[in-house]
Amino acid sequence: MRHRSLLILTTAITAGALTLTACGSRDDKGGDAAGGGNSTVVIGLDAPLTGDLSALGLGIKNSADLAVKQANKKQYVKGITFKLEALDDQAQPSSGQQNATKLVADKEVVGVVGPLNSSVAESMQKVFEDANLVQVSPANTNPALSQGPKWNTGEKKRTYKSYFRTATTDAIQGPFAAQYVVNKAKKTKAFIIDDKKTYGAGLAGTFKGEFEKLGGKVVGTDHVNPDTKDFSAVATKVKSSGADVVYYGGEYPAGGPLTKQIKEAGAKVIVVGGDALYSAEYIKLGGAAANGDIATSVGAPIETLPSAKEFLANYKAENYKDAYEAYGGYSYDSTWAIIEAVKKVVDANGGKLPSDARAKIVEAMQTISFEGVSGKVSFDEFGDTTNKQLTVYGVQNGAHKPIESGTFGG
Amino acid sequence: MNELPQQLVNGLLLGSMYGLVAVGYTMVYGIVQLINFAHGEIFMTGGFGALTVWLMLPGGTSLWVALPLMIIGAILVATTIAVGAERFAYRPLRGGPKLAPLITAIGLSLALQQAVWAWYPEAKSARTFPQIPGGPIELGPITIGTGDVFLVIAAPICMAFLAFFVMRTRIGRGMQATAQDPDTARLMGVNTDRIIVIAFALGASFAAVGAVAYGLKYGQIDYKMGFLLGLKAFTAAVLGGIGNIYGAMIGGLVLGIAETMATAYINHIPGMQQLGGQSWADVWAFVLLIVVLLLRPQGLLGERVADRA
């Protein structure tokens, strides 16, 4: 009898450990090949291609693929054929790091696009820095990635010179949302929820700071575990707190069910969040409850930009199964930035790739400037994009509609 | 506003879902002393069974018409997989060391998860589940979402049915006999192989009903949904005393309420702000489990062998 309860206790504890770590990994898929050319170089890509965030990840992959195809078609860099190698990180920092190591080991890789998640980027940066391999993320928004861990105390310091991004940071996105909520939507009692990830917690923090500065009152906070789907207890807390707005720092797989359950609990609120809620999946998961919710996202809506016309037409012509989603344009620009940097290095070396190409490309990346899908693409002294535009989107009749675009003035 | 009544209801709803799944763990354990770790995935396949039925029905079918068919579909799929697993994965190992079927169960769990991931259309991310139309129902201080209505009705019916089945029917008595002493039960003319299959099928049916409730409550199902919920339901079964069917029900409710209360109140205790909130609910649930097992290793209702089935 004693034996049996010991077995149960052990299994129970193992079960607990499993629950708390929620482990998992999967083999990665190879990228698609493009043939021909004299010399082939590889652009690596890392994004969640399966799992909850795959809608965004596949949009990133397809757009990068499109950029590579266009460059090859136009013979943009003479004598160089680009090839995309896409790896799946399942939004897990550990998988991201393995992928980074794998890409670094492949001598043909000259640059990497991705990842989607800030937490994954954190695990990759050091690996790329040590190998002098340039990384351009289309979607990371956590400011600490480029400006160092003490960025919000004003002590900005770039930690990794190989890290660049085309997405605007949360240091702007959170306050931008707070301004809209207080000044335009006239909501002053906020309940702030985050998922404790690098991205979510960072975003919620920057929103809170600006919201309180503008005279708003935070009536409650909570942290959720995005792996569970039951948020009923949190929803009840929101209702009894009397909040008129909920800010969620997190991603749509938990955000959708969260908004649904908060509204079903009878709370009269709108849910506001960052670019990771700006996805059709959010509305699919939230159902009718998502109507009226707001998401901010980086850049202006690419559908409205003249610079994006060609991208949109080409994307359609390739017949990709998945939409380009929130980061498609930025992913195209990130990939193109690597192509531009390669071009610069190759041109300076008399039409050939130099032996220390990786280091040269990192240097070249700092100086590139071109007209991309999302507008002008160039990087500041931290590796952040100089394009600081943001847009507020509202959910109306089951779709995200742009409400206003602008830049955050501080 | 006092949120206690609402939080209790939230906890009871979550707990009854744990209870529905926990019954499957506890029945199988009671009879063959096997912790069927694939049970969470059987729950998940039930959800996809129900969704398949819904997708096969012509568009515009009322959910009230579709729901009974979906439940039948869920039960059929889940039961088939559970009985198949018993026949081909567990039965050949029954005489072997105790750990062999346990590891097989973990392997089966991963295999089922990946099979749905790979072959069910568009199951690589969450799929939406049909929703009961209408707004939330308000009863004084308590609000119940339309998606919860099914759970409110189905869970007590299932539990009452199970209690009746085990205590009053011939097969139920056969289950009790097998649980107490399989060899003697066989000598007395009980077909123990059949009893074991019935235990698996019954557990799977309850999980299937739980999966339909899950889909209606949260509006989505995905290939991973059985993993965490299965672990929680297993915890509930251990908490209540594994092998005891009433224990599984009580354990589920206790666990659900504990998680909800931890989310709602722990961060109001001075000095505990950092340890409260929903992200800590799992931790408190397992703290509760460990405390219970230290004080009562047999679980809340364990050791009442007569009820074991």
User: What backbone torsions phi and psi does residue A242 show, to the nearest 5 degrees?
Assistant: 75, 20
Give domain A170-298+390-407's CATH superfamily: Response regulator (3.40.50.2300)
- The C-alpha atoms of residue A408 and residue B279 are separated, in whole angstroms, by 32
The mean pLDDT value of chain A amounts to 88
How far from A84 is each of A45, A62, B157, B297, CA to CA, in Å?
7, 10, 56, 56
φ and ψ at A34, to 5 degrees? -125, 130
CA distance A252 to A278: 8
- In the beta sheet, which residues pair with residue A80? A39
Chain B contact probe: residue of A19, A238, A281 with most B CBs at under 10 A: A19
Q: What is the spatial distance between Cα A308 and Cα A302, in angstroms, rounded to a whole number?
A: 6
DSSP assignment of A257-305 equals HHHHHHHHTT---EEEE-GGG-SHHHHHHHGGGGTT-EEEEESS-GGG-
- A285 vs B11, B14, B128: nearest CB: B128
Domain chopping of chain A, boundaries: 39-168+304-379, 170-298+390-407
pLDDT of A7: 65
Q: Is the dihedral of CA A212, A214, A219, A221 positive or negative?
A: negative
pTM (whole model) above 0.95: no
Residues of B with CB below 8 A from A235's CB? 10
Contact B277 A232 (CB under 8 A): no
A35 has a pLDDT exceeding 60: no
Averaged pLDDT for residues B53-64: 88
pLDDT 10s digits, B147-189: 889 999 999 999 999 999 998 999 999 998 998 888 899 999 9
Q: What percent of chain A has pLDDT over 70?
A: 90
Rounded to an integer, the average pLDDT of A11-30 is: 54
Distances, alpha carbon A149 to alpha carbons A28, A153, A196, B46, in Å:
31, 9, 16, 46
CA dihedral A218, A224, A226, A227 (to 10 degrees): -170
3-state secondary structure B227-281: HHHHHHHHHHHHHHCCCEHHHHHHHHHHHHHHHHHHHHHHHHCCCCHHHCCHHHH
Query: For the ranges A36-50, A176-190, B18-32, which has the lowest average pLDDT?
Result: A36-50
Contacts of A53 in chain B (CB under 8 A): 125
Structure tokens at A378: 């160039």
B307: confidence class by pLDDT, cuts 50, 70, 90: very low
What CA–CA distance (Å, rounded) separates B169 from A46?
58
| C-alpha–C-alpha distance, residues A321 and A304, integer Å | 23
For residue B35, which residues of chain A lie inside 8 Å, CB to CB?
11
Predicted complex ipTM: 0.83
What whole-number distance in Å separates Cα of residue A86 and Cα of residue A80?
19
Rounded distance between C-alpha atoms, residue B59 and residue B78, angstroms: 25
Q: What tokens were used for B232?
A: 């929680």
Question: Among A133, A142, A60, A53, which Cα is nearest to A101's?
Answer: A133
Same fold, A39-168+304-379 and A170-298+390-407: yes
Pairing status of strand A245-249 against strand A217-223: unpaired
| DSSP secondary structure code for residue B188 in this structure | T
Give the pLDDT band of residue A233 (cuts 50, 70, 90).
Answer: very high
Are A225 and B279 a contacting pair at CB < 8 A?
yes
Nearest-angstrom CA–CA distance, B47 and B209: 8
pLDDT at A19: 62
Question: pLDDT of A369-409, one tens digit each?
Answer: 998 898 889 999 999 998 888 899 999 998 999 998 887 75
The DSSP secondary-structure symbol of A178 reads: H
pLDDT of amino acid A46 = 96
Amino acid (1-letter code) at residue B44: M
What is the C-alpha separation between B307 and A81, in angstroms, rounded?
72
* Residue contact A13–B290, C-beta within 8 A: yes
N-terminal to C-terminal alpha carbon distance within chain B = 44
Residues of B in contact with A240 (CB under 8 A): 1-3, 6
**Mean of the per-residue pLDDT values for chain B?**
90
Buried b / exposed e over A252-290, threshold 16 CB at 10 Å, is: bbbbbbbbbbbbbbbbebbbbbbbbbbbebbbbbbbebb
Segment B72-90, tens digit of pLDDT:
999 999 999 999 999 999 9
Mean pLDDT of B237-260: 92
Q: What is the DSSP letter of A395?
A: E
pLDDT band, residue A20 (cuts 50/70/90): low
| DSSP helix/strand/coil, B33 | coil
Does the distance separating the beta carbons of A228 and B282 come in below 8 Å? yes
Contact B147 A253 (CB under 8 A): no
Please give the CATH superfamily to which domain A39-168+304-379 belongs: Response regulator (3.40.50.2300)
Q: Residue A30: pLDDT band by 50, 70, 90 thresholds?
A: very low
Between B278 and A85, residue with greater pLDDT: A85
**For A347-372, what is each residue's pLDDT tens digit?**
998 888 898 899 999 999 999 999 88
Cross-chain Cβ contact B124/A257 below 8 Å: no
Q: Please give, rounded to a whole number of angstroms, the shortest distance from the CA of B46 to a CA of chain A.
A: 18
The crossing angle, in degrees rounded to 10, of helices A118-131 and A93-105 is 20
Q: How many CA atoms lie within 13 A of A297 on its CB side?
A: 26
The answer to whether the Cα torsion of B288, B290, B296, B298 is positive or negative is positive
- Look-up of token digits 């092998």: B243
Record: contact A233-B128, CB cut-off 8 A: no
Instruction: Look at residue B142 and tell me whether its pLDDT is greater than 90.
Output: no
B interface test, pick of A225, A232, A258, A279 with most B CB neighbours within 10 Å: A232
CA distances from B129 to A258, A284, A286, A395, B113 (A): 16, 10, 11, 21, 18
pLDDT at A23: 42
Average pLDDT, stretch B199-212?
96
Q: Which of B1, B219, B231 has the CB atom closest to A260's CB atom?
A: B219
Are the CB atoms for A59 and A331 separated by under 8 Å?
Answer: yes
Q: What is the pLDDT of residue A302?
A: 81
pLDDT at A64: 96
Would you call the peptide bond into A115 cis, given omega within 30 degrees of 0 as the criterion?
A: yes
What would the pLDDT profile of A260-287 be if each residue is shown by its tens digit? Answer: 999 988 899 999 999 999 988 899 999 8
pLDDT tier for residue A26 given thresholds of 50, 70 and 90: very low
Task: Assess whether pLDDT exceeds 70 at residue A31.
Answer: no
